[in-house]
Amino acid sequence: MKKILILWFGAFIVTFLAGYLNSVTGSDFPLSGTIGSGKKKVTYYFETVYNDKQPMEIMMRTDIPDLEGYIVNRTDGAADTIPMVYSENRITAQFDSVAPGTLLIYDVYINYEGKWIQVPEEMTVTTEILGFLPKTIRVLVFICLFGGVLLAVRSGIDYFTERSNHRKTGFFALIAFGCYSLIVMPVKLSFELGLVNSMQKVSPEIIYTLKDMSFFLVWTAVMIAAFNVKNSKLVVAIGAGVIVVMTVFLG
């Protein structure tokens, strides 16, 4: 019993590390940083993906009283200026509502110590606007994806044991990946693209993307091989490694 718990704990650690690496290296990781120090500090945090109900707001925290700033909105080739407003150690500006799928492209400037500087330095910010995503869908995405990864890794770890449960555990991982790729992610994309309660027709490849389907397809191939080759444990172990790499870069 103790050995089984250790194996599950090891699988959990590998899954956690894969998820963590994905979160800090993914394309939707926010831009953040600090300018200055002490009483002249400005901290910024810009979303690269935004899917709230309200129009997107840019906000920076600062210790500088009455800090001035503005945004140049370059979306669709425009160059509209949006002033930023200071209030209670914050400087903010809000964009107008835009359709889901819009890429907001903008430059942020502040008057720091009498000099106008760009934040981040000499960098244009891009934020993808998506439709509002209910918390229930977020939870289901997490459970199906990382539940599948956990089960896949656990089945792969059986390569180093005398147990032969790798096929059964791998089958449950296949169910989780099937729910993720075939059900949950298409629903998630439908919300993000504003297709829910919409009469708009879209082609299947819009909501059934190769990236999302890859987890189900790869693990299906692994399971087919596991039931048809002699050294099935090695096949499952290699497949689990592939799933971990995919989680880091595609999840």
| Phi, psi torsion values for 201, nearest 5 degrees | -95, 135
- CATH code, 70: 2.60.40.10
Whether 137 and 243 map to the same domain: the answer is yes
Give the domain-ending residue among 91, 108, 129: 129
Q: What is the pLDDT of residue 10?
A: 92
- Report if residue 195 sits inside a domain: yes
pLDDT for residue 66:
85
- Domain containing residue 125: 36-129
pLDDT of residue 220: 97
Q: Please choose, from the candidates 185, 95, 57, the residue with its C-alpha nearest in 3D space to the C-alpha of residue 193.
A: 185
Is 139 domain-assigned? yes
pLDDT of residue 234: 94
**Do residues 141 and 246 both lie within one domain?**
yes
Which pTM value belongs to this model? Answer: 0.84
**Spans of the chain, pLDDT less than 50:** none
**How high is the pLDDT of residue 222?**
97
State the pLDDT at residue 136: 95
- Among 211, 220, 217, 221, which residue's Cα sits nearest to residue 188? 211
The predicted structure's pLDDT at residue 224: 96
Residue type, 201: K
Examine residue 80 and state whether it is found in any structural domain, yes or no: yes
In the numeric block, which tokens belong to residue 117? 């500087």
Is-contact 105 123, C-beta < 8 A? no
Give the pLDDT of residue 85. 92
Q: How far is CA 225 from CA 11, 86, 220, 236, in A?
A: 22, 62, 9, 8
